[in-house]
Amino acid sequence: MALKIKVLSHGRTILARKGEMLAEALRRAGIPLNLFCSQRGLCGKCGVEIVRGKQPAPGEREKFLWKQKSLPRNQRLSCLFEIQSDLEIGVPSSSTLQEVPILPALPRSSVFFNPAVKKYVVDIAPPQISAPESLLELVCENLGVRHLKISPHLMRELGPRLEHAKYKVAVIVHRDKEILDVRRASRAPRLSGLPLDVGTTTLVVELVDLETGKAVDTRADLNGQASRGADVMSRITYALSGREKAEELRALVLDSLNRLISQILRKNRIPLSSVYEIVVSANTAMNHLLLGVPVHSLAAAPYHAVFSRLPYFSAQETGFAAHPEARVYMAPNIKSFVGGDITSGLLASRLDKREGNFLFIDLGTNGEIVLKTARSLIATSTAAGPAFEGMNISCGMPALPGAIYKVEDIARKLKVSTIASEPARGVCGTGLIDLIAIFLERGELSPGGAIQNREKRLRVARNISLTQEDVRQVQLACAAIKTGIRLMLRRNGLKEADLGGVCIAGAFGNYLNIRNSMRIGLLPSLEEKKIVFVGNSSLAGARQLLISLKERERAESLIQKARYRALASDPLFQDHFVKALELKSWP
Amino acid sequence: MALKIKVLSHGRTILARKGEMLAEALRRAGIPLNLFCSQRGLCGKCGVEIVRGKQPAPGEREKFLWKQKSLPRNQRLSCLFEIQSDLEIGVPSSSTLQEVPILPALPRSSVFFNPAVKKYVVDIAPPQISAPESLLELVCENLGVRHLKISPHLMRELGPRLEHAKYKVAVIVHRDKEILDVRRASRAPRLSGLPLDVGTTTLVVELVDLETGKAVDTRADLNGQASRGADVMSRITYALSGREKAEELRALVLDSLNRLISQILRKNRIPLSSVYEIVVSANTAMNHLLLGVPVHSLAAAPYHAVFSRLPYFSAQETGFAAHPEARVYMAPNIKSFVGGDITSGLLASRLDKREGNFLFIDLGTNGEIVLKTARSLIATSTAAGPAFEGMNISCGMPALPGAIYKVEDIARKLKVSTIASEPARGVCGTGLIDLIAIFLERGELSPGGAIQNREKRLRVARNISLTQEDVRQVQLACAAIKTGIRLMLRRNGLKEADLGGVCIAGAFGNYLNIRNSMRIGLLPSLEEKKIVFVGNSSLAGARQLLISLKERERAESLIQKARYRALASDPLFQDHFVKALELKSWP
């Protein structure tokens, strides 16, 4: 006969069998209970208050967890609670699944916390002569799994560590498949993880508490490779100029990253050995260079990456500053040209979950464009060139202090804003877009891009002006993106009016003036509210992948589903590109 | 409507659907077709002759395999053959599952060939700009799997190797999960594997052709550790006398093994880099020492092994002379005291598949006894001491040339036989048993073990005689085994008459005189035909594990099922042991 469980906190009554575990009944009924350890009585996170009904006496394991985790005594762990009678219970919010926010800009952009690396504190009954299990078997048994992988090194350490800890240990496990570490329970480390955004120009390291999923701190720096070429192609060319050059590039980016990692850990007083997982979000060239994988197949037709999805490598194998057994997860690349940074971006911006037709645009040196329709996900990349990153522009500079990032035309006078309000030293991408739009509006620039004055210069501020050549660079960058968007829409039978919205990713962030971007034709003319800035979605996606195994499955299925469309080989490309050089709004 | 396939070779007619693959229909009907590559069109081993019926034109893949493997043109590969009409076919024996014999002594002791390491030769269509799969994806696709693990090193080599081979490559894969190597198809290695029997005294290395499963050659030598103690306990004691001592023991056994490996490979002209898998069969102490895992938990109560089952380590990680990515499989230990050598022995002797109650006895320094009943598998070990290996006996020696291995009493004169017919230098285990039985029969030895002459010496040959102390050593060894067998039977409600048979494993081989063994009480008194010598079943089992993944599953389930019974803590032990010291036949 079925028993009734009245879940007061959720206003529901569910049915259960006598003898069934309470957690199981709650899980089946869809109550979002935190089952971090998969109901194995290890994590102490599924406590419920029993308001009425028969309570079996708590066992050793439950008592141990009460003490170990300082759990409230009025709570019983539901995965260790056998149902004996009808019950009335309350599920406190501390025992339901934790949602971790990802992109503050997006409503409902959060994931359920379920990291790959977990720490289980167990009090193992020391071996008995009458029960001759091996030590590794004892550990597995206590973790409720049949077999765990272990490195030869840790295998050798296992006995001494268990004894030294008197068999009260914290076992750090990866995907419930591999033991990464065994530590004394009383000195168990607080697990940390690092999402890394490895950009061509900029590197960003985030420190995440792997026991809550929350971001603790962020730190950024220039990619040490920058001195060897500004864009991806020049890096690849450098790498191909000699075997030691590729090694050099690898060392440069790795050193920059490891320096950032050391700094952020030191500042937050976290030991290196507490970092058990790293997630890397990078474009194809960057993740190849970072791993020391040859890039020559990326450089010449038929342009192929060596990998898109990788197995888990260890920090030791890859050279990262972390616990040597820490695992490294690479956000998978979408085919050969669209990197893991875009996969991360799609995850963070929830592109696959949006209704209708949606565009995702990453305005970097390689303009990546992804179109999501009801049926498909199509990615492409266009060589926009580094103009939007302030490169190849006479007065250009990256978005650093002193860069003009915003320009307004007030009573025919230019009002410039600089980063950190420092004296203007140059113009970065967003400033360029504002300037081109203003000069167009004023008629000082023809739609064809010709400067309409004798000196062929557009003055911006003291010592800062745009040359004809600068305008050409912006036109080319703009046309590449515009052609990309146009062809993507057209080849899928869509018009811009069919778009539900556009996510803009990249360093531009909220500084991009939407109206001006539409004015020069960079973005299609849509209602402003349809444009969503998702900021550094590469980093946000990396964090998401770090704290949720479910998101890794989502990433894998995303890259399986995505198709790639090569723009350069499209017979319409040339024609559209030439037309798109004209600086005017859509259509 | 179902189509009819008349399988002439097997005298059967089976049904199939139109459009179904022929291999699938044959597999479903239980025809033992060789599906080495799991019907992925890679191995070319499932050819059938089409006698009558519609034949679709062969595709690129089939043509490639015909050429690559020089297949007979009258055969079609059934996993690439789509059924279009009723058929009459013949399945040649070359296309059915190969059985590989394991122990020649045992009828039906053979396993189906299905190794962990497989080589697939593929002709990959080089990347196309329009199909931007990464190189790793292309390889996986061509092997018909979604994802394969790969080491960082091979990841870096993948591009150059594919290009150099013009995309015609042999991919060496482990359990269809990991890529171990990628080589030019035209220079594909012939895969080799090594079963190793790592005994306390003797090491045996076998060379197995991993493409047929056949043993090619064998080579044996003394364990280099022997100079640091004759038996397991003295080795453990030595290892515990200092951290560098354990390292020394590891190096000693590893060096001995690697020397044997190099010799056997050189003799058979096989390069080291063609060895892709090693299976180790060893007792618990030996496999711990070999991997550098501390043995102190094996030395003192509660006597625990650190591991029983291990993940796959690489040759590089473990120090074996083989391809660095070769995988090492350890025959799993049964609990803490009964090693992988016994697991191998049980597999090779098919103990689990025998009807009724059966004993398996390994007469080594540690006498291991396993009882298989209808319901259970119980293992124990008894400290027999090294007497049967010729140690601790004044005139004792191992079974080496010059050792008296057989003694007969012909008209009250001893007729001794020596190994290699060399002049007698000492007595080995089987000779000792014969001598004790003969002297008992003659009345020169009392059942209590007292020598019945004044000089208290039993003369055997010139300069060779047994002392009273020697007789005591044999009595102790014999009593340990006898007590073990007796308690195992008694605790499971059995008498010796209930035994269907006894498998005797160990170096003794066929030299053991069954009648004499029964006379002194070492073996229970059974019909002689119930005693089966299985020889070096540790090595045979290792080969079995090497060539069949199915056998690894069997080993895992064997060790899961097996229970261990500690003899020393049995309250009946002392009493039985004292009684068993009397040299007389059962009961």
Asked if A149 lies within 8 A of B301 by C-beta distance, the reply is no
Asked if B136 lies within 8 A of A309 by C-beta distance, the reply is yes
pLDDT for A105 equals 66
Residue of A nearest to B308 (CA): A134
Q: CA-CA distance, A444 to B271, in Å (whole number)?
A: 76
B interface mutation test: which of A153, A240, A306, A314 has the most B CBs within 10 A?
A: A306
Lowest mean pLDDT among A359-368, A413-422, B74-83: A359-368
State percent of chain B over pLDDT 70. Answer: 98
pTM of the entire structure?
Answer: 0.88
Residue of B nearest to A380 (CA): B132
Q: CA-CA distance, A290 to B8, in Å (whole number)?
A: 59
Can you tell me the mean pLDDT for B524-553? 93
pLDDT for B105 equals 66
pLDDT for B57 equals 92
Q: Distance from A313 to chain B by nearest Cα, in Å? A: 7
Of A126, A294, A333, the CB nearest to B134: A333
Q: Distance from A537 to chain B by nearest Cα, in Å? A: 24
The size of the A-B interface in CB pairs under 8 A is 146
pLDDT for A488 equals 94
Give per-residue burial for A342-374: e unless 16+ CB within 10 Å, then b. Answer: bbbbbbbbbbbeeeebbbbbbbbbbbbbbbbbe
Q: Position of tokens 């094996």?
A: B298
DSSP A353: G
B interface mutation test: which of A240, A280, A307, A320 has the most B CBs within 10 A?
A: A307
pLDDT for B547 equals 96
**What is the rounded end-to-end Cα distance, in angstroms, of chain B?**
68
pLDDT for B30 equals 87
Amino acid at B226: A
Q: CA-CA distance, A189 to A160, in Å (whole number)?
A: 18
HSE value, Cβ hemisphere, 13 Å, CA-based, for B209: 10
Can you tell me the mean pLDDT for B112-134? 88
Tokens of B221: 């030598």
B interface mutation test: which of A124, A130, A138, A155 has the most B CBs within 10 A?
A: A155
Higher pLDDT, B61 or A548: A548
Looking at beta carbons, which residues of chain A come within 8 Å of B296? 159
Amino acid at B19: G
Asked if A129 lies within 8 A of B335 by C-beta distance, the reply is no
B interface mutation test: which of A130, A134, A254 has the most B CBs within 10 A?
A: A134
Asked if A307 lies within 8 A of B136 by C-beta distance, the reply is yes
Residue B108 makes CB contacts below 8 A (sequence gap 6+) with B350
Asked if A297 lies within 8 A of B135 by C-beta distance, the reply is yes
- Strand partners of residue A169: A122, A184
Amino acid at A509: G
Residue of A nearest to B566 (CA): A130
Higher pLDDT, A352 or A152: A152
Can you tell me the mean pLDDT for A215-227? 90
Amino acid at B444: E
Q: Distance from A288 to chain B by nearest Cα, in Å? A: 9
Q: Distance from A305 to chain B by nearest Cα, in Å? A: 5
pLDDT for B507 equals 67
Can you tell me the mean pLDDT for A241-256? 94
DSSP A330: E
pLDDT for A210 equals 96
Of A126, A132, A155, the CB nearest to B293: A155
Can you tell me the mean pLDDT for B483-504? 94
Helix (H) or strand (E) holding A266: helix A243-267
pLDDT for B229 equals 82
B interface mutation test: which of A124, A130, A137, A174 has the most B CBs within 10 A?
A: A137
Looking at beta carbons, which residues of chain B come within 8 Å of A159? 293-294, 296-297, 306
**What is the rounded end-to-end Cα distance, in angstroms, of chain A?**
68
What is the interface pTM, i.e. ipTM, of the complex? 0.86
Higher pLDDT, B107 or B506: B506
Q: Is the pLDDT of residue A400 over 90?
A: no
Per residue in A299-335, pLDDT tens? 887 889 999 999 999 999 999 999 999 999 999 999 8
pLDDT for B509 equals 64
Q: Phi and psi of A125, rounded to 5°?
A: -65, 125
Of A149, A306, A318, the CB nearest to B136: A306
State percent of chain B over pLDDT 90. Answer: 71
How does residue B104 score in pLDDT terms, banded at 50, 70 and 90? low
Q: Is the pLDDT of residue A128 over 90?
A: no
Q: CA-CA distance, B486 to A67, in Å (whole number)?
A: 48
Looking at beta carbons, which residues of chain B come within 8 Å of A564? 132
Amino acid at A120: Y
Cis bond upstream, residue A587 (ω within 30): yes
Asked if A304 lies within 8 A of B335 by C-beta distance, the reply is no
Can you tell me the mean pLDDT for B278-287? 96
Lowest mean pLDDT among A139-143, B65-69, B253-257, B402-406: B65-69
Residue of B nearest to A306 (CA): B135
Looking at beta carbons, which residues of chain A come within 8 Å of B149? 311
pLDDT for A159 equals 94
Strand ranges for A113-251 from DSSP E:
117-123, 168-174, 178-184, 192-198, 202-209, 215-222
Q: CA-CA distance, A526 to A506, in Å (whole number)?
A: 20
Can you tell me the mean pLDDT for B204-215? 95
Asked if A152 lies within 8 A of B333 by C-beta distance, the reply is no
Q: Is the pLDDT of residue B478 over 70?
A: yes
Q: Is the pLDDT of residue B220 over 80?
A: yes
Average per-residue pLDDT in chain A?
91
A interface mutation test: which of B128, B162, B304 has the most A CBs within 10 A?
A: B304
- Beta A12-16 vs A3-7: how paired, if at all? antiparallel
Q: CA-CA distance, B16 to B1, in Å (whole number)?
A: 9
Q: Is the pLDDT of residue A568 over 80?
A: no
Of B137, B152, B159, the CB nearest to A294: B159
Lowest mean pLDDT among A64-78, A154-168, B325-339: A64-78
Report helix, strand or coil for A70.
coil
pLDDT for A104 equals 66
Q: Distance from A333 to chain B by nearest Cα, in Å? A: 9
How does residue A35 score in pLDDT terms, banded at 50, 70 and 90? confident
pLDDT for B484 equals 94
**Given phi > 0 = left and psi -120 to 50 = alpha, else beta, which region is A322?**
beta
Looking at beta carbons, which residues of chain B come within 8 Å of A327? none
Higher pLDDT, B98 or B521: B521
Of B152, B158, B335, the CB nearest to A313: B152
Per residue in A489-507, pLDDT tens? 999 999 999 999 999 997 6
Tokens of B301: 């109560």
Q: Residue A363's Cα: distance from chain center in Å?
A: 17
The DSSP line for B204-228 is EEEEEETTT--EEEEEEEE-GGGGG
Q: Is the pLDDT of residue B127 over 90?
A: no
Distances (CA, A) of B341 to A354, B199, B338, B520, B557: 59, 8, 8, 27, 16
Can you tell me the mean pLDDT for A106-124? 87
Contact call for residues B577 and B483 (beta carbons, < 8 A)? yes
pLDDT for B111 equals 87
Identify the CA nearest to A564 among candidates B135, B134, B140. Answer: B134
Asked if B152 lies within 8 A of A317 by C-beta distance, the reply is yes
**Given phi > 0 = left and psi -120 to 50 = alpha, else beta, which region is B213?**
left
Report helix, strand or coil for A411.
coil
Can you tell me the mean pLDDT for B156-183? 96
Q: Distance from A307 to chain B by nearest Cα, in Å? A: 5
Q: Is the pLDDT of residue A195 over 70?
A: yes
